[in-house]
């Protein structure tokens, strides 16, 4: 099986998970899977600006390069919190466009941003134009939301973000339903559709796409890596962290050989 070269820093990612991917869990994963790119839990800009930023943002050195995931839709607050995170050593700012929780809906961020590309692109333009060029501004999104579920919509949604300077997308390969399903059900009931993620890669070949959703074993991961740039693991990483040691060493074996 041919895994897509060249390797990107996003080849093997730990999904952001609230009340899971705190600094302690990430430290464990960094020990087990040193090549895995790590994401914080989703944090709101105001929590960072007004809260205990050391408690929220501190991380051990072995976790870097590390990404902060932000959930918000106020461009200035996003920028201010991104600056604080960069001062703490974060090198990637990931914007959440996939969370379907009630809290997120009332704040009009997370998956609601898929319905509101104007606001989203305003946020993204400010971040990509003001942040230092070595800081990656990335997006984690679903394939659609509620009745907005067509490949054309998704393609245009991604294209506008690319035009505004985003070069890396983490795609949770199912849609979100904002009414009637809990966040947990929203991770299980809408069917997975890897095909649309592959189509995005075909349509935007120079953009980096990381596939997320339902990945549990090395065969699945390797199969995906023949089609797209990276994979992101959530629940499996939490359920069986030790398996990541094997995944990491297998996926990065060729680099290891090259370095010896």
Ligand X SMILES: Cc1cc2nc3c(=O)[nH]c(=O)nc-3n(C[C@H](O)[C@H](O)[C@H](O)COP(=O)(O)O)c2cc1C
Contacts to ligand X by CB under 6 A:
15-18, 20, 41-42, 69, 96, 98-99, 140, 172, 187, 212-215, 233-236
Rounded to a whole number of angstroms, the CA Rg of the chain reads 17
- The reply to whether 99 belongs to the active site is yes
Nearest to 142 by CA among 211, 203, 93, 208: 211
Backbone angles phi, psi at 207, to 5 degrees: -95, 150
Task: Output the CA–CA distances (angstroms, integers) from residue 118 to 56, 79, 140, 141, 164, in the order listed.
Answer: 29, 17, 17, 15, 12
Q: Minimum distance between the CB of residue 225 and ligand X, rounded to whole angstroms?
A: 15
Determine what percent of the chain falls in helix, strand and coil, rounding each to the nearest 5. 45, 15, 40
Q: Minimum distance between the CB of residue 170 and ligand X, rounded to whole angstroms?
A: 8
For the purposes of burial, counting CB atoms within 10 Å of the CB of 27, is it exposed (0-12), middle (13-18) or buried (19 or more)? middle
Q: Minimum distance between the CB of residue 15 and ligand X, rounded to whole angstroms?
A: 3
**Marked catalytic residue, from 13, 88, 97, 99:** 99
**What span, in angstroms and rounded, lies between the C-alpha atoms of 217 and 15?**
15
Closer CB to ligand X, 27 or 129, in the complex = 27
For residue 80, give the DSSP letter: H
Q: Minimum distance between the CB of residue 215 and ligand X, rounded to whole angstroms?
A: 6
Closer CB to ligand X, 167 or 220, in the complex = 220
Q: Minimum distance between the CB of residue 67 and ligand X, rounded to whole angstroms?
A: 11
Q: Which residue number places its CB atom closest to ligand X?
A: 234
**How many CB atoms lie under 10 A from the CB of residue 157?**
21
Closer CB to ligand X, 75 or 234, in the complex = 234
Q: 69 with 43: CB under 8 angstroms? A: yes
CA 159-161-167 angle, 5° bins = 95
Closer CB to ligand X, 58 or 255, in the complex = 58
Closer CB to ligand X, 112 or 212, in the complex = 212
Closer CB to ligand X, 22 or 146, in the complex = 22
For the purposes of burial, counting CB atoms within 10 Å of the CB of 165, is it exposed (0-12), middle (13-18) or buried (19 or more)? middle
Q: Minimum distance between the CB of residue 102 and ligand X, rounded to whole angstroms?
A: 14
Instruction: Collect all residues with Cβ–Cβ distance below 8 Å to 33 and sequence separation of at least 6.
Output: 12, 14, 244, 245, 247, 248
Looking at the annotation, which residues are catalytic? 99
């Amino acid at each position: 099986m041919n895994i897509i070269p060249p390797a990107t820093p996003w080849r093997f990612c730990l999904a952001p998970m609230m009340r899971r991917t705190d600094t302690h869990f990430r430290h464990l994963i960094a020990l087990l899977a040193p090549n895995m790119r790590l994401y914080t839990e989703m944090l709101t800009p105001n929590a960072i600006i007004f809260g205990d930023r050391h408690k929220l943002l501190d991380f051990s050195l072995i976790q870097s390069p590390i990404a902060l995931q932000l959930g918000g839709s106020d461009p200035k607050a996003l920028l201010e919190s991104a600056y604080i995170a960069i001062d703490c050593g974060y090198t990637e700012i990931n914007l959440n466009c996939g969370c379907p929780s009630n809290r997120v809906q009332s704040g009009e961020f997370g998956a609601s941003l898929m319905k509101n590309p104007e606001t989203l692109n305003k946020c993204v333009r400010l971040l990509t134009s003001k942040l230092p060029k070595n800081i990656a501004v990335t997006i984690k999104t679903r394939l659609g939301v509620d009745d907005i579920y067509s490949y054309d919509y998704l393609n245009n949604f991604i294209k506008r973000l690319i035009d505004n300077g985003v070069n890396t997308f983490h795609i949770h390969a199912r849609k979100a339903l904002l009414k009637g399903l809990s966040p947990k059900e929203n991770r299980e009931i809408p069917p997975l559709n890897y095909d649309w993620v592959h189509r995005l890669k075909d349509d935007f070949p120079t953009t980096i796409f990381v596939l997320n959703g339902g990945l549990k074993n090395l065969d699945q991961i390797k199969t995906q890596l023949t089609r797209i740039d990276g994979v992101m693991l959530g629940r499996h990483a939490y359920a069986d962290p030790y398996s990541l040691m094997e995944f990491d060493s297998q996926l990065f074996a060729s680099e290891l050989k090259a370095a010896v």
